[in-house]
Amino acid sequence: MLNFMESLGIDVGGSGIKGAIVNTKNGEFITERHRTETPQPATPEIIAETIKQIADHFNWTGKIGCGFPSVIQNGIIRTAANIDKSCIGVNANELFSAVTGRQIKVYNDADAAGFAELRFGKVKNFKGLALFLTVGTGIGSALFYEGKLIPNTEFGHMYMNNKLKAEHFTSDAIRKKEDLNWKNWGKRFNEYLEYMETLLYPELIILGGGASKKFEKFSSEITIKAPIEPAQLLNNAGIIGAALLA
């Protein structure tokens, strides 16, 4: 029998697609996390098939929430920075629901992860302007004010003064590609945070994604005024938030 306090959360990333069944009352995983490599090219049909395989893996027929690395307006994919360009314009809610035979709702991945922090993590009870950043293949962002999400911000696409987009200057993928040590990467990331601070003046910054687990390795390089902390739910926030939004 289906339990209505459970849903399947899926996080579609540039390198992996991950899912787990989540208790939406307390944000805890009910199952182990299941991960599949993101197939290349990551076309919407192939991503839909992969989501179906993950739902089948869990024998799951209930609701599914999905975080996706794009601007998503009412289920429609508007951008494709790190996935196949053929995703643009596709109604992901409709396509993914049709291919999987389940009811799926799709949201921007950083918004979903930030939403989990809002419910159960570091943004809970915080009423000021909070900026949530996920640092992985790209840089995703979510903005919260008075406990409300302002969706689809794309602060990873800000141009730095060296004319690179922030996510081409200081994402986790760039750290690996350029073989930067944490100190040197931290200096770059701090430059980006300083820029964000002059534009937004957030009162709290929360870091999610892969880099959040290594915060102590680069925190000494961070000199901005706003308090900055790793996400409480670390790398699981994306799955938990997607499940909550299902």
- Contact residues for ligand BGC, defined by CB under 6 A: 69-71, 79, 81-82, 108-110, 134, 138, 140, 154, 156, 167
Minimum Å gap between C-beta 101 and ligand BGC is 27
Task: Tell me whether residue 60 or residue 104 sits nearer to ligand BGC (CB atom).
Answer: 104
User: Alpha-carbon distance 122 to 97, whole Å?
Assistant: 32
Minimum Å gap between C-beta 194 and ligand BGC is 20
Minimum Å gap between C-beta 6 and ligand BGC is 25
Token pair recorded at residue 195: 């820029």
Minimum Å gap between C-beta 200 and ligand BGC is 17
What stretch of H or E contains 183? helix 182-200
Do the beta carbons of residue 8 and residue 55 sit within 8 Å? yes
Three-state SS at 32: coil
Task: Tell me whether residue 50 or residue 60 sits nearer to ligand BGC (CB atom).
Answer: 50
Task: Tell me whether residue 60 or residue 243 sits nearer to ligand BGC (CB atom).
Answer: 243
The sign one gets for the Cα dihedral 169, 172, 177, 181 is positive
Mark residue 201 as left, alpha or beta (left: phi above 0; alpha: psi -120 to 50; beta: remaining).
left
Task: Tell me whether residue 48 or residue 166 sits nearer to ligand BGC (CB atom).
Answer: 166
Minimum Å gap between C-beta 220 and ligand BGC is 25
Task: Tell me whether residue 69 or residue 186 sits nearer to ligand BGC (CB atom).
Answer: 69
HSE-up (13 A, CA, CB side) for residue 117: 36
Question: ∠ CA 93-96-102 to the nearest 5 degrees?
Answer: 95
Task: Tell me whether residue 14 or residue 62 sits nearer to ligand BGC (CB atom).
Answer: 14
Closest CA to 115 of 132, 137, 95: 132
Task: Tell me whether residue 110 or residue 228 sits nearer to ligand BGC (CB atom).
Answer: 110
- Full DSSP string of 54-113: HHHHTT--S-EEEEESS-EETTEE---SSS-GGGTT-BHHHHHHHHHTS-EEEEEHHHHH
Minimum Å gap between C-beta 69 and ligand BGC is 3
For helices 92-100 and 44-57, give the axis angle rounded to 10 degrees.
50
Minimum Å gap between C-beta 67 and ligand BGC is 8
